[in-house]
Amino acid sequence: DFKMEKHLIDRRVAQMEAEGVVFHYGVNVGVTHKASELIEAHDALLLAGGAERPRDPELPGTDLEGVHFAMPFLVQQNRRVGGEPPTPELPILAGGKHVVVIGGGDTASDCIGTSFRQGALSVTQLDIRPIPPLREDKLHVWPYWPTKFRTSSSQAEGAEREFSAATLGMEGKNGRVRSVLCIRVDEKRKPIEGTEFRIRADLVLIAIGFAGAVHEGLIEQVAPACDPRGNVAADTETYRTSVPKVYAAGDMRRGQSLIVWAIREGRQAARQIDLDLMGATTLPR
């Protein structure tokens, strides 16, 4: 385990089951079960499936063998650690490979730590942002989050970090990735001519964020109205969607965000559903 031991999740699930929550495992609504069946069988349906559609850089070479989005790599490792059956896709393994991680966020950090645990020979992280200052200047950036040079536990394990680096594409041989072509960028993220460089890569993991909710399956079948970014449209007062009895909260409604927002919206949506079904509620907003 890299981020959280699975026994902690098991403990929380057991607590929720004791409180009356019923979990159905191995269910993929929209694939294994029709969404219409859930709507017909229940008084309310809350869409809280997150924003799982990865942001695609649309770069040359992304179709090469050895180039993957971050989530399949991380999900496979979670299943291995948990002793669960593997996914049907070919295994993505970093052992004995030179790994390049594209992205500077938490998901990229997870890829770094997981790669080291699988036995990667080297891990290089590409971040398009400039190197942050050693000390934060809260007055200068308020009300925004002050940037400061930080090193995560996974980065501290030996990752090489390249800042102000944009990816131009992946290069390969015989259909397999062999290197990543990069270029330096200025403070406005514009490429600086003549600063191209290459990094050896046997495995490239793309972790540049998420574009929104996956529409195939669940959302296609429920067919709620969506905002211009492709998120399920629902306001922050009632969390109701355009479909009767259907609500939405968290990243599936607001797009890629923080867990604190997901917790807040989940609680508020639960309160609204309780109010709509029972006519009154004692749940806090």
H or E, element range at 107? helix 106-117
The structure's pTM equals 0.84
Q: Where are the domains of the chain?
A: 12-52+212-278, 56-208
Q: pLDDT band at residue 2, thresholds of 50, 70 and 90?
A: low
| pLDDT tens per residue across span 20-58 | 999 998 899 999 999 999 999 999 999 999 999 999 999
Please say whether the beta carbons of 272 and 238 come within 8 A: yes
- Neighbouring C-alpha atoms within 13 Å toward the C-beta of 10: 4
Q: pLDDT band at residue 86, thresholds of 50, 70 and 90?
A: confident
Cα distance between residue 159 and residue 176, in whole Å: 23
* Equal fold, 12-52+212-278 vs 56-208: yes
CATH architecture for residues 56-208? 3-Layer(bba) Sandwich (3.50)
Strands of 45-147, DSSP E: 45-47, 53-54, 67-69, 98-102, 122-126
What would the mean pLDDT of 135-164 be, rounded to a whole number?
84
CATH architecture for residues 12-52+212-278? 3-Layer(bba) Sandwich (3.50)
